[in-house]
Amino acid sequence: MIKSAYRTVGLSLGGSSVSVREATAEDASVIARFVRRMVEAMASVGGHPATNGREEWARLENEICDEVGEQDHVYLLAEVVDSEPTPIGLAGARVVSLAPVFEPRRVLHIHSLYVSESHRKRGVGQALLETVIDWGRDLGCVEAELSVLVRNPARSLYEKLGFGVFEMEMTRKL
């Protein structure tokens, strides 16, 4: 559970404030839409193309519903707070343990980060990342990891927040 101190973000977008809150199962469709947009954006910078299969996206939404209630998993939504809160960004992470051949440690694996195009470069992504990192630290994680495509412009944000290359995945066409 996210501490209430994490909920308010000192951002203002066009006169409206932004908050970050922990998502609930009722937010699963919003999360799934953000994940789809994230995958489509990744494809535009060299990632794999998103599936068009409705069944796969429905399955993802169901998996998100299950994950939202897990103790070692979190989804956060950034929202513009007006009369009706409007979601503008997403972060998703889980606590993982290293393989048994390594010294035991809890690691925060950030698997999702997406901010709507019209709200990028305004601190929303940083607020989401900082909040999810605080969540992981509170659960005893000693490091945070994420994967990023080489040509993804978000790399500069990750580097600004202290992420660096640790290992490299290499691929080859068959």
Q: What is the mean pLDDT of each run of 10 residues along the chain (174 residues)?
A: 50 77 94 93 89 89 88 94 87 92 92 94 94 95 94 93 91 90
Question: Tell me, what's the pLDDT at 16?
Answer: 76
Residue matched to tokens 């606590």: 95
Give all domains of the chain, ordered by start, each with its CATH number: 4-160 (3.40.630.30)
Task: Give the torsion through C-alpha atoms of 59, 31, 131, 15, to 10 deg.
Answer: 180
Q: List residues bridging with 76 in a β-sheet.
A: 22, 91
- Amino acid in the structure at residue 165: V
DSSP string, 73-103: EEEEEEEEESSS-EEEEEEEEEEEE--TTS-
Question: Tell me, what's the pLDDT at 91?
Answer: 97
Rounded Cα distance, 35 and 63, in Å:
12
Question: Tell me, what's the pLDDT at 29?
Answer: 93
Question: Tell me, what's the pLDDT at 5?
Answer: 40
Q: What angle do CA 23, 27, 30 make, to 5 degrees?
A: 115
CA 13 vs CA 81, 88, 150: distances in Å: 10, 11, 29
pTM for the complete prediction?
A: 0.89
